[in-house]
Amino acid sequence: MTDKVAADGCLPRLRADLDLLPSPDAGQPGVLLRDPMGYATVVLRLPWVLAPALACLDGRHGVLDCQAAVSRQTGEIVPGETIAAMVQTLREEGFLATPEFTALRERRRLEFAAAPVRQAAHAGSAYPAEAVELRRTLGGYLAGANGGGDPGLVGLAAPHVSPFGGVEGYAAAYGRLPRNLTGRTLVILGTSHHGAWNRFGLTRKPFATPLGMAQPDLEAVDFLAGRAGNAADLEDYCHAIEHSIEFQLVFAQYAGAAGAKVLPILCGPMVGPAGGAEVFYGALGELAESRRGDWFWLLGVDLAHIGRRYGGRDAVQAGSAAAREVERRDRERLAAVLAGEAEEFRRLAEQDYARGGEGLNWCGSSALYTFLRAMPRARGELLHYGQWNIDAQSIVSFAAIAWRNDAPAGNATEKREPVRE
């Protein structure tokens, strides 16, 4: 916000990358403001009466506009001082696009770059923070899994949806994890939900989880960083907050890969001309060929995101006719993945992206395409397909996939399962 705009009486713009959610606490109703990037570390709650004022925080409206919006939508008269106090709190906590936020963002990025270890960002929220409790929880999730592993695999894909929501998918994948991975490298391709288009995030940091420390494959990280140029961001801040890699590492450590090194790669959205990403695909494929037998691939990917939460017009429930149509479209695209048809998969993904809120909104496309480009001889087996209502109006679909080199394409060995209610 420039001085001129401020002098014109316009209030700062609310950041566009925030989560705005209804308060789950009936005793404290209102709207919650949360920063998924972790720059702002507090969660703010505004009473419902002030919620209409948020729409006026666009850099073009002032206090009187906020008051009018509240009065028009709620019938309440809110003093200008109340609006000013709300704006000041939002400014101080880093929720507005102001110089204060710019400084906060730079400070957080520098802190991550300087940190010696990538700490577990989701321990204590998405999964237990104590090792004993975490092992008990993961043991319950994987209780029905094939416990013998599969030494003939070169890679697995598992969900990155909340573990309790995608438990069948995690179990199907990690029950097949080979048990001979000590001393090898886990190449973990994760969706970068907040990353730049056609860019890749790397880090040289060890990853800490409640189950131990995973050391990075520094030679591989440095090779990719040196070859990929502007397509790769070394010490990408997205690693600090992203769950798609963290969840895979926790499950892998529990399932027997605690002695492996890691090469964590965050894959930004994949649409349009690949540009510098082509250089990255080439470098990763070259490195994979030279490390054949030493690497094992793990992909943290979800598939469709459908319903009102994701911009759809209608609510969707698992098991409904709409959800069955989502499954049909998912499986059409999965067929290209399993067959190793990278460019056909990219064509389908870009075609679907053009549909906007009515598309499938696969958030795992970039990680899957990166794998297909780096491992062109890999063929997949669909181990599990599922859908989960992340809320009452929206579903996320996910899959577990096992890959072998030169395996027959298709999913003939898959046991067909109904869409989960």
Average pLDDT for runs of 10 along the chain of length 421: 53 96 89 96 95 96 97 95 97 96 97 97 97 97 82 96 96 93 96 94 98 97 95 97 98 93 96 84 97 95 94 92 96 97 94 79 96 97 97 96 74 40 29
Going from the N-terminus, what domains does the chain have, and what CATH number goes with each?
3-109 (3.90.930), 120-405 (3.40.830.10)
Query: Which residues, in sequence order, are bridge partners of residue 261?
Result: 185
Coil vs helix vs strand at 75: coil
Half-sphere exposure of 195 (CA within 13 A, CB side): 35
Residue 397: strand pairing partners = 387
Residue with tokens 């409206």: 61
Contacts of 124 (CB under 8 A, 6+ apart): none
Two structure tokens written together for 240: 């600090």
**pTM given for the model:** 0.90
CA distances from 70 to 40, 81, 83, 129, 330 (A): 26, 14, 10, 42, 43
